[in-house]
Amino acid sequence: MGRLFWKLFLFIWLGQVAAVAGTGLFFSLEREHTRPAMTMEPPPPPGFHEHRLPPPEGERAGPPHRPPHGGKPPPGPVPLFPLIAGLVASLLCAAGVAWYFAKPIRHLRHAFATVAEGKLDTRVGSAMGGRRDELADLGQDFDRMAARLQTLIEGQKRLLHDVSHEMRSPLARLQAAIGLVRQQPGRLDDTLPRIEREGERMNGLIGELLTLSRLEAGVEMPVEKVDLGELLGGIVDDARFEGASRQVGIDFSATPDLFVQANPELLHRAIENVVRNGLRFSPTGGQLSIDARREGGTIRLHIADQGEGVPAAELEAIFTPFHRGQNVATGDGYGLGLAIARQVVSTVNGKIAAKLKSDGSPGLLIEIELPAAD
């Protein structure tokens, strides 16, 4: 039994004992007060003693007999059996109430200790039984917290594994290039571009990881009123230049008055990641559509490519770091662009989602919703 059980038990039981004792005392006094007093004989009428026979000889003369206690009957005995029954009943009731409140708290305390030991799959919902009160709600909150912690910890482990895998490949190629130069110094000019390229790849990967880590850690970034139309214009110009080598066209349309409260650098990187992802998946001679419009207090941005698309089962998974789907994109990539885009959009209370095209045509549609700034 825990300390809380005994505290609840003691407070409840003492309260019930006081109630039983007070009730018993009240009814005892009430019964004594309401019992009729023993009446005395009325005084004799005048001249009664003149015709009264003399008392028998040997009878002592004295004052008339008066009942004790001023004419009231003596108080009855204290009802011990009802008091004892009431005390026993209050004892059982106090124990039941204390156990009812202390048991779920004991389960929660044990669950917290188990989670602290690293067993993140611990849940207390089943131990609450059929309760429908605040303690049951607390148990459900604990289960959600434990599930969220388990997801985050597993995500961090998976991220660490993926990072080590991504870093291993350029490091291996870098070491191979250095070894080749040592064996054949005459090939230095041919090997230096490879070393430079692998170094740039590692630098880009580390930069993307730092950005993602800051976003997931909730680091505060300065925000300002951003003209989304102007920002999209710069991204579209870069995309047209990049897509020209594969004849990928850009169809861009935007309505006026597209302003949002966000960090301009992060928002630029998020949308650029989505656009570049569409370019990488677009076939040669394809078309990338970018449409932005304001609907009430929401700005909707649609980015659609004509690539192979993504299976429906992977529409959510593509926003996780280092996700590798069935369709492999062309060109270099770290698998972090869409994950960063989701984090940036969520920081401004926006939404981002991947969908299949409603008309059934090939390609992927990315929808971004941002709260408009007046």
The enclosing domain of 196 has a CATH number of: 1.10.287.130
Torsion of CA 192, 208, 336, 157, to 10 degrees: 100
Q: What is the CATH number of the domain that holds 254?
A: 3.30.565.10
State how many domains the chain has.
2
Tell whether pTM > 0.85. Answer: no
Question: Are residues 233 and 211 both part of a single domain?
Answer: no
Residue 238 and residue 366 in one domain: yes
Q: How many other β-carbons are positioned within 10 Å of the β-carbon of residue 209?
A: 19
Residue 126 lies in a domain: no
Q: Hey, which residues does 302 pair with through a beta bridge? A: 291, 367
DSSP state of 133: S
198 is a domain residue = yes
Residue range of the domain that includes 193: 138-216
Which residue is catalytic, options 165, 268, 302, 323?
A: 165
- Residues with Cβ within 8 Å of 146's Cβ and at least 6 positions away in sequence, in order, are 111, 115, 120, 121, 122, 123
Please indicate, yes or no, if residue 289 is contained in any of the structural domains.
Answer: yes
Q: Which of 216, 245, 278 is the endpoint of a domain?
A: 216
Which pLDDT belongs to residue 226?
Answer: 93
Same domain membership, residue 314 and residue 191: no
- Contact call for residues 228 and 348 (beta carbons, < 8 A): no
Helix, strand, coil content of the chain in percent (nearest 5): 55, 10, 30
- Is 165 a known active-site residue? yes
pLDDT tens over the chain, length 374 residues: 556 566 666 767 666 666 666 666 666 665 655 555 544 555 555 555 555 555 555 555 555 555 554 555 555 555 666 667 667 777 777 777 777 777 788 888 888 888 888 888 888 887 777 777 777 888 888 888 888 888 878 877 777 777 777 777 778 888 888 888 888 888 888 888 888 888 888 888 888 788 877 787 777 788 899 999 999 999 999 999 989 888 999 999 999 989 999 999 899 989 998 999 899 888 999 999 999 999 989 999 999 998 888 888 888 888 887 776 655 544 456 678 888 899 899 988 999 999 988 887 888 999 999 999 87
- Across-strand partners of 295? 298
User: 210, 224, 286: which is closest to 249 by C-alpha?
Assistant: 286
CB atoms within 10 A of CB 217: 7
273 and 254 within one domain: yes
Among 191, 216, 241, the domain-final residue is 216
